[in-house]
Structure 1
Amino acid sequence: MTTRPTDTTHPADTPPAPAAERGSWLRDHSELGVCLLLLALGVLVLTDALTMDVDIAQRGPVGPRTVPVVVGAGLLLIAALLAVDVLRGGRGQAEAGEDVDLSEPADWRTVLLLTGVFLGSAVLIEPLGFPAAGALLFWGAAFALGSRRHDRDPLVAAVLSLVTYAVFNNLLGVPLPGGPLMGVL
């Protein structure tokens, strides 16, 4: 019969964890970054809600501070619950429904094209108006995402832009810049 040697080291006698192990711990608990983001957002919302200038003579129990305070408190509660779950070993579920091959590099061409189209339409919305800038935005996004139907895409983009303009400007009462083309139509 053989006997095993017993471990007689005291926890205080163990050296501190090397930097690689600390980095591994942070990588294993990366969801704590989401907790910090939710915490910061909750503090920001609560601070903004509690420093809001409100007319004291409001009627009813629900004032303009109620919803932001509830949202801010909810963000703080979710941040705390998520932090407890992560520290207890909980992990986010891997995305099973996406058909994304993580070994492939990012498609930076598409990202840059979409960024350019978005920024271009933001610059052009004032001089050209929403209908023209929106049509360029919708057509540019379709092109950046791979559509090559040059006969159909500009027409769909123009109709979509005009319908969006009419809904926001006329039905919802949100004024959008019409541009020089709206004087002609």
Structure 2
Amino acid sequence: MSVIEEKTAAAPKSWWRTHSELGVCVFLFAVGVLVLVDALSIPTDFTQRGPVGPKAVPILVGSLLLLVSLLLARDVLRGGRGEAEAGEDVDLDAPADWRTVLLLSGAFLANAALIDTLGFPLSSAIMFWGAAYALGSRHLVRDPLIAAGVSLVTWFVFTVLLGVPLPGGPLMGVL
């Protein structure tokens, strides 16, 4: 074992590293506050049918999010840790794969930027192919064909069968 490996193996993990689940607690708490603030701003100047108004479910969901975040934070601070799944073979001490994260983020951002100009089928095909590439697939013929097929089928199901309009781009002239 080298000197660097001995130092990193002997060094204790930081407090934030051992209590990383608190990040989930903060996220749940923030979402709960957002839901409650949004729910309390729902106007009540319309006719209500039944005893439950439009604020009831969002207030319940927001309150439950706050409760879960506080209970999870208490458990984490008392030493509780989530167990990895038995089938998971992830090395929790390995560094994050930022290249994959950035490629996936780029694929999603490209979809968001291109969906209005190219339409859903083309922008989603680019996103699906980009996600496959980011996750390691290197089939230069198969991946774009599958991405195009999945995006076309999805667009067709939503737009034609379900009646949910998605931007078609160049396909609008075809159908």
Asked if TM exceeds 0.5, the reply is: yes
The one-letter code matched in structure 1 to 2:58 is P
**What is the aligned partner in structure 1 of residue 29 from structure 2?**
39
Instruction: Please list every run of 5 or more consecutive structure 1 residues that lacks an aligned counterpart in the other structure.
Output: 1-22
Taking structure 1 as reference, are residues 41 and 157 closer, same or farther at Cα in structure 2, changes over 3 Å only?
closer
Match of 1:157 among 139, 147, 160: 147
Partner of 1:125: 115
The one-letter code sitting in structure 2 at the alignment partner of 1:159 is G
Structure 2 CA distance for aligned equivalents of residues 34 and 102 of structure 1:
17
> Shift of residue 82 of structure 1?
2.6
Letter aligned with residue 68 of structure 2: I
Cα RMSD for the two superposed structures = 2.4
TM-score, length-scaled by structure 2: 0.77
> Per-residue deviation at 1:83?
3.6
**Alpha-carbon distance change, 54 to 176 in structure 1, aligned in 2, over 3 angstroms:** same
> Of 53, 58, 67, which residue of structure 1 is paired with 2:43?
53
Question: How far is the alpha carbon of 1:180 from its aligned partner?
Answer: 1.7
Identity fraction in percent = 65
Distance 1:161 1:95, change over 3 A: same
Partner of 2:88: 98
1:11-32 CA deviation, whole Å, 9 max, x = no partner?
Answer: xxxxxxxxxxxx74x6655544
Give a deviation string over 1:93-115, Cα, whole Å, max 9, x none. Answer: 23144221234333222222222
Q: From the superposition, tell whether residues 123 and 43 of structure 1 become closer, same or farther in structure 2 (CA, over 3 Å).
A: closer
Structure 1 residues 143 and 73, CA, compared in 2 at 3 Å: closer, same or farther? same
Question: How many residues are paired up?
Answer: 161
User: Which digits, 9 at most, give the CA deviation of each residue in 1:36-93, with x for residues without a partner?
Assistant: 4333332322222122112342111222111101101111222332344344x24122
Aligned match of 1:114 in 94, 104, 124?
A: 104
Q: Which stretches in structure 2 are left out of the alignment for 5+ residues?
A: 1-13
Change (3 A) 1:80 1:154: closer
Provide the C-alpha distance between the structure 1 equivalents of 2:130 and 2:22, rounded to a whole number of angstroms: 37
Q: TM-score, normalised by structure 1?
A: 0.74
Partner in structure 2 of residue 77 of structure 1: 67
